[in-house]
A and B are shown apart, each in its own frame.
Chain A
Amino acid sequence: MSIRIQGVSKNFGSFRALDDVSLDVPSGSLLALLGPSGSGKTTLLRIIAGLEVADRGTVLHHDENITEYEARDRKVGFVFQHYALFRHMTIAENIGYGLRVRGVPKQERQTRVDELLKLIRLDGLGSRYPAQLSGGQRQRVALARALAARPNVLLLDEPFGALDARVRTELRQWLRKLHEEIQVTSVFVTHDQEEAFEVADHVVIMNEGRIEQVGTPVEVFERPANAFVMDFLGNVNVFHGRVERGRAVVSGLTVAYPDYPHPEARDAAVYVRPHELDVERNRTEAGGLAAKILHVNPTGSRTKVELRALDSNQLINVELTPERFAELGLKSGETVHVSPRRVRVFVPDYEI
C-alpha cells in the first residue's frame, strides 16, 4: 500500500522539525529516511504512524486520507530502536498482542504466532521472556510483533541502532531478504548511509526538516543534488575556488564546468571524493595541486594518504588502490601532485 505525504509541517515549540515535506512512497518499496540527528526523519516516521500529529499537511494511505486517524486505526507496524517489547509478556504473547487486542480467536492467534516465530528463526523460544533474549533476537521479536496483524505499512525507527556491528550487518541482510519475501511497503529511519544504501531501494535524504534529495542509492551517490548531500554521503574533499566561462579553477587546478558559461566569475565549492583523486610524482598537463604527504595508512582495501596542499595548507584525503600505491612507492614527507578524475561543483545560490 502506497503512502503519500503532502505538505506536512511540525513544530516542537520554536523548533521546526518538519518544514512543508511532501513525499511519495510507492507500494511495496523499501525506503530509507537518511539524515543527521535533528533532521526530522524520526518525526516524519512518527507522523506516518500516527504517534505524532502534524501541524499542517495530510497523510494518505493508498489514496485514503488518514491524517485524523489514531495510531491504532492505521494498520501500521512500528518497530522501535529500543525494541519496546512488553517485558511482562512472553515472546509468544508479545507477538500475538496485536491479534489479541483486535479480538482474534486464540487458535488462529497461535497459528500466526508459530508462523512468525519460524520466520524470525526463534521457534521454540515462544515461552521465554524478553529479558532472556539477546539484542538481535529482541529486535526480531519486535519485528514479528509489528508484522503479526498483517499491517499495510511497516515503519522502523533506527531498527539496528542499538545493536553491535556484527549483528547489525546480519540483521540488515535479513531485513532485505524478508522484504523481498513479504513485499510490505516499508520505511525505515537511519543516520547511517551505509545501512541505507545496503538495505533500501529508495533513499530520502533529509536535513533541517526538509527533504534534500530522493532517489535510488546509485542516483543520490553518483548525482548528489547539492553540497549537503555530497558532504553527508561519505568523505569528501572540499576546495574553494571560482567558476567562469565553463571552467572551475582551484589554485593550480582547472576543470571543465559547462553548467556555468557566464563570463563573470563566481565563488564555488569543488567537491572531490578521496577515491576520485589521483597522485602523480610529476606535474601533468591537466595541472594538479602540489602537496606534501603527511601520513600513509596502507591497511584496509584502499590505501589512505593524507596530504597538505603547499599553497593553501588545506588537508587533502586520497584513497589509492594498493596496486597504484605500490607502483608509486610513496613515503611521507614527499611532495607530489594531486589531480582529480572527477569533480562536482556547487555554486552557492545568489545572495545579496
Chain B
Amino acid sequence: MASVNRRVLPGFSLTLGYTVFYLGVLVLLPITAVFIKASSLSLHEFLGAVWTERARAAYLLTFGTSFLAAVANVVLGGLIAWVLTRYTFPGKRILDSLVDLPLALPTAVGGLIYASLYVENGWIGRYLVPLGIRGAYTRLGIVLVLIFVGLPFVVRTVQPVLEDLDPEAEEASSSLGATRWQTFTHVILPTLYPALITGFALAFARSIGEYGSVVFISGNMPFKTEIAPILIVARLEEFAYGEATAIAVVLLAISFSMLLVVNLLESWSRRHDR
C-alpha cells in the first residue's frame, strides 16, 4: 500500500525545481564552462600549464596561508563568539556588529589598509619591522588579511550554538566534580566541534578564493608571495585563457576534495545526534 504523506505547505516540486534551476544557472553552468574551456587544451598542454614550478608554489601558498588563516580564525572567532554570548558589557552590540564589517567592506580596501599599517613607516609596522616582523608584502601579510576576511564565518557559526548551549549540562558537570577546565574540555568544546568545523570550512573556502585584499598586501612576487588566483589573473593578462582556466580547474578540484573531507569530519562530529 502506498503511504500518503501530506505536508503542511505544498509546493515541493515547484521549490525543488527552482532550487535545481538556480543552482544550475548560478553555480554549475559557470563551473562547467571552466571545465569545457580547460578541456580545449591537450593533456600535455594542460600539465604544462598547471604543473610548473611557479604554479606549484602558488598552490602551496594559497592552501597553506588559507589553512593557517582558517585555524587562526577558529581560535580567534571561537573566542570572540564566546565573549559575545557569555558576557554582558557596555558596547557589546557595537562589537557584535563590527564582526560583520569584513563582509561588507570591499576586501581590496581591507588589503590596502593592512598594507599601509604594516609597511616600515606604518602605524604598526614602525614597531614591528625593527623586530624583524614584516607584515606587508610577505606571506605573513597574506595570512593576516585572510584572517580578516574569514573572521565573520567562524564567529557567526559558533555564536548560535553557544547561545543554545544548555547551562544545566555545565552545572551537571560541576556538581559531578569537574573543574572548570574539565567542564570546558569535556562538555562545552565537544558540543562546539560541528560548528567550529563548519566555520573552519567556510573561512578556509573563502580564503582560497580571496583575491582583492591579497593582491594589495602580498606584493605578488612569483615563487614567494604569488597566490593561485593572482597567477590566474597573470595568465589572463597574457591572453593565455586556456592555461588560466586549467589552473582554475586544479584549484577547484583541490578545494572540492578538501571541503568534502571537512564535511565528512563534520558529520562524524555529529554522530551522536542520530
Are A149 and B176 CB-contacts (below 8 A) given A82-B168, A84-B166, A86-B169? yes
Measured between beta carbons, the chain B residues less than 8 angstroms from A80 are 168, 171-172
A50 B191 Cβ-Cβ under 8 A: no
- Kindly state whether residue B121 has any CB partner on chain A within 8 Å: no
- Kindly state whether residue B19 has any CB partner on chain A within 8 Å: no
Measured between beta carbons, the chain B residues less than 8 angstroms from A90 are 272
- Kindly state whether residue B117 has any CB partner on chain A within 8 Å: no
B179 A84 Cβ-Cβ under 8 A: no
Of the listed residues B166, B177, B273, the one surrounded by the most CB atoms of chain A closer than 10 A to its CB is B177
Kindly identify which residue among B166, B171, B190 contacts A71, using a CB–CB cutoff of 8 Å: B171
B47 shortest CB reach to chain A, Å: 46
A81 shortest CB reach to chain B, Å: 8
| Stretch touching chain B among A95-103, A110-118, A251-259, A321-329 | A95-103
- Kindly state whether residue A70 has any CB partner on chain B within 8 Å: yes
A78 B187 Cβ-Cβ under 8 A: no
Measured between beta carbons, the chain A residues less than 8 angstroms from B271 are 129
What is the predominant secondary structure among interface residues of chain A facing chain B?
Answer: loop
A129 B272 Cβ-Cβ under 8 A: yes
B266 shortest CB reach to chain A, Å: 14
Measured between beta carbons, the chain A residues less than 8 angstroms from B272 are 87-90, 129-131
Q: Whole-angstrom distance between the alpha carbons of A44 and B179 in the complex?
A: 23
- Kindly state whether residue A275 has any CB partner on chain B within 8 Å: no
Of the four ranges (under 10, 10 to 19, 20 to 34, 35 or more), the interface on chain A belongs to: 35 or more
Measured between beta carbons, the chain A residues less than 8 angstroms from B39 are none
Q: Whole-angstrom distance between the alpha carbons of A150 and B179 in the complex?
A: 18
Nearest residue, chain B, Cβ from A77: B175
Q: Which B64-111 residues have C-beta < 8 A from chain A?
A: none
Nearest residue, chain B, Cβ from A100: B186
B198 shortest CB reach to chain A, Å: 16
B176 A101 Cβ-Cβ under 8 A: yes
- Kindly state whether residue A76 has any CB partner on chain B within 8 Å: yes
- Kindly state whether residue B274 has any CB partner on chain A within 8 Å: yes
A88 B190 Cβ-Cβ under 8 A: yes
Q: Which A91-150 residues have C-beta < 8 A from chain B?
A: 97-98, 100-102, 129-132, 142, 145-146, 148-149
| Chain A residues near B (Cβ < 8 Å) | 49-51, 70-78, 80, 82, 84-90, 97-98, 100-102, 129-132, 142, 145-146, 148-149
What 4 additional pairs, Cβ within 8 angstroms, besides A85-B172, A88-B193? A49-B175, A89-B272, A97-B176, A129-B273
